[in-house]
Amino acid sequence: MAEMIGARDLVVELGAERGLFRRRAGVRAVDGVSLSVTAGETFGVVGESGCGKTTLARTLLGLQRESGGEIRLENAVVSGVAPSLARRQRAAVQYVHQDPGAALDPWWRVGATLAEGLRIQGLTNRTEAADRIAETLRAVGLDPAFGERYPHELSGGQQRRIGLARILLLRPKLVILDEPTAGLDLSVQAAVLRLLRDLRDRFGLTYLFISHDLSVVRRVCDQVAVMYLGRIVEQAPAAELFAQPRHPYTRALLGAAPRLDGKAVAPTLRGDPPSLRAIPSGCRFHPRCLHADMSCLEREPVMQPVAAGHSVCCHHWREAA
């Protein structure tokens, strides 16, 4: 199947200074990430805050310049160019902000916000723009009259829909959804997830789905990558990852999610993730890992295949299973 977006050994360094007099190493927010997202699928990225999910998204989007590695978009290499050009090259990639309320200008009617995107993309004909906006609002399940409203007149679910309409107008191929259900009530969340699925089928979209809600990820994603401190530690089809997690971190993460029956299924993960400024030696998960031994301190594990489409980055995944 065709690849929509892919990355090989992607490295993103943040906060580095390379001046004449001051040199300072940055932190590697993304440190050697390789992934491949097939067209038409929903690819989930999960992990704790600070693991590099959002930086990865910004880099794929072209807002953040990569320090190394390669990004492919529809089999063409799009990395290694200046940010302004990168963003233009990647117009097929669009991003839905985590907090759609904050992403809307409170002084603008939402219709004006929607039209701005079209204007930037070069559509100046007002009637055509108005038609497309009305059509898109209907596609996200809103009446075209919503264009006359101000952001504060919308509920949380309606703001999400506007956030989606805003990028659908630009006819994207890949949509990066950053925590698309954070802060939504259950009933609204269900409606938004259903809408996302319908839109994907209707417009032939591919989703990169960033979330820390594992119940939702399990529900909507085809593939899932688990990130820890800038690395992907496990990747598998969603059904397999949730049924047979191999990496100790994945197990702990899945086990920590609160369950409806109130039962605890895995030992808790102790402590916070270490800082990116002091990444542990060897396997970067070893200080929090129940299975760590000397080899984990000394050698950094590499990705190993477990089954078809399932790979894990751990020395001991066989024993730990």
Partner 1 sequence: MSDMLASAPEAPSLMTVRDLAVHIPTDAGVARILDGVSFTLPPGGSLGIVGESGCGKSTLLRAILGILPKGARVPQGQVLFQGQDILKTPVRGRIGFIPQDPYLSLNPVFRAGDQLLEGMRNHAPGTRDDHRKKLINLFHAVQLPEPQNALDKYPHQFSGGQRQRLLIAAALACDPDLVVADEPTTALDVTTQREILALLRSLISERNMGLLFVTHDFGVLSSVCEDVAVLYAGRVAEYGPTGNVLADPRHPYTRMLLACHPDRATDLIGIPGTVPAATAQPPGCRFHPRCPISRPNCAVAVPEAVRIFDGSRVACPYHADPLPEVALG
* Kind plus residue range of the DSSP H or E element containing 230: none
3-state secondary structure (DSSP) of residue 20: coil
Nearest-approach distance from CB 157 to partner 1, in angstroms:
8
Half-sphere exposure of 112 (CA within 13 A, CB side): 10
200 binds partner 1 (CB under 8 A): no
Q: Is 269 helix (H, G, I), strand (E, B) or coil?
A: coil
How does DSSP classify residue 301? -
| Contact region with partner 1 (CB under 8 A), list: 15-23, 97-105, 178-186, 201-209 | 178-186
188 touching partner 1, by CB under 8 A:
yes
Task: Name the residue nearer to partner 1 (CB basis): 181 or 206.
Answer: 181
Q: What share of the chain is helix, strand, coil (3-state, %, to 5)?
A: 35, 25, 40
303 binds partner 1 (CB under 8 A): no
Tell me the Ramachandran region of residue 181: left when phi exceeds 0, alpha when psi lies from -120 to 50, beta otherwise. Answer: alpha
Taking alpha carbons only, the member of 295, 299, 286, 297 closest to residue 247 is: 286
Q: By C-beta, is 73 or 289 nearer to partner 1?
A: 289
CA 4 to CA 204: how far, in whole Å?
Answer: 11
Contacts of 262 (CB under 8 A, 6+ apart): none
Stretch that binds partner 1, among 10-18, 88-96, 103-111, 182-190 (CB under 8 A): 182-190
**Residue of the chain from 170, 193, 303, 320 that contacts partner 1 (CB under 8 A):** 193
Contact pattern from residue 235 through residue 274 relative to partner 1, giving x for each residue in contact according to CB under 8 A and a dash for the rest: -----------------xx--xxxxxxx-x---xxx-x--
The distance of closest approach from Cβ of residue 153 to partner 1 in the complex, given in angstroms and rounded to an integer, is 12
Instruction: State how beta strands 3-14 and 68-73 pair.
Output: antiparallel
CA distance 104 to 235: 34
The answer to whether 93 and 176 have CB atoms below 8 angstroms apart is yes
Counting contacts by CB under 8 A, is residue 201 touching partner 1? Answer: no
Q: Binding to partner 1 by residue 211, rule CB under 8 A?
A: no
Total residues interacting with partner 1, rule: CB under 8 A: 36
Residues of this chain, 130-159, that bind partner 1 according to CB under 8 A: 155-156
Q: Which of these segments, 4-12, 29-37, 207-215, 294-302, binds partner 1 (CB under 8 A)? A: 207-215
Residues that bind partner 1 (CB under 8 A): 48-49, 155-156, 183, 185-191, 193-194, 197, 212-216, 218-219, 252-253, 256-262, 264, 268-270, 272
